[in-house]
Amino acid sequence: MQEHSLTGRIAGLVIFRVPEFGTRARFTIEGTGSCPVVCAVEGDVAREFISRHCVGDQVSVRGIYEPRPSTAAADTPWVARFRVCAVRFAEDRRLAA
């Protein structure tokens, strides 16, 4: 799988904890020049993301598109997700202020 980078504004942030897997977050990147992209982040990356970023922040994310599971039934709805491996601010906060 090929790694991609996206830059845009965080929208629709949802943070949750799964006992078996730990902290996870889901959000949408808007303003990429195309359709909004649903992103998923987990583990250490999720903990760092939650502590540094919030809705409205302009960020650059790096990751891979998750394919539909091969074991999913044909009639199961599937929203493509972008599995985030790294997140950083798209612009330096000091310069933005």
Question: Does residue 75 lie within any of the structural domains?
Answer: yes
The pLDDT value given to residue 68: 81
| Average pLDDT of the chain, as a whole number | 86
Q: Is residue 50 part of a domain?
A: yes
Domain of residue 63 covers 4-92
Q: Please answer whether residues 83 and 45 qualify as being in contact, where contact means their C-beta atoms are separated by less than 8 angstroms.
A: no
Residue 97 forms part of a structural domain:
no
pLDDT-derived band of residue 92, with 50, 70 and 90 as boundaries?
Answer: low
Instruction: Residue 31: name the closest of 52, 11, 53 by CA.
Output: 11
Total tally of structural domains belonging to the chain: 1
Residue 80 predicted with pLDDT over 80: no
pLDDT digits (tens, 9 = 90+) for 32-65: 777 889 999 999 999 999 999 999 999 999 999 9
Residue 88 placed within a domain: yes
Q: Residue 50 has what pLDDT? A: 92
Domain of residue 59, CATH code: 2.40.50.140
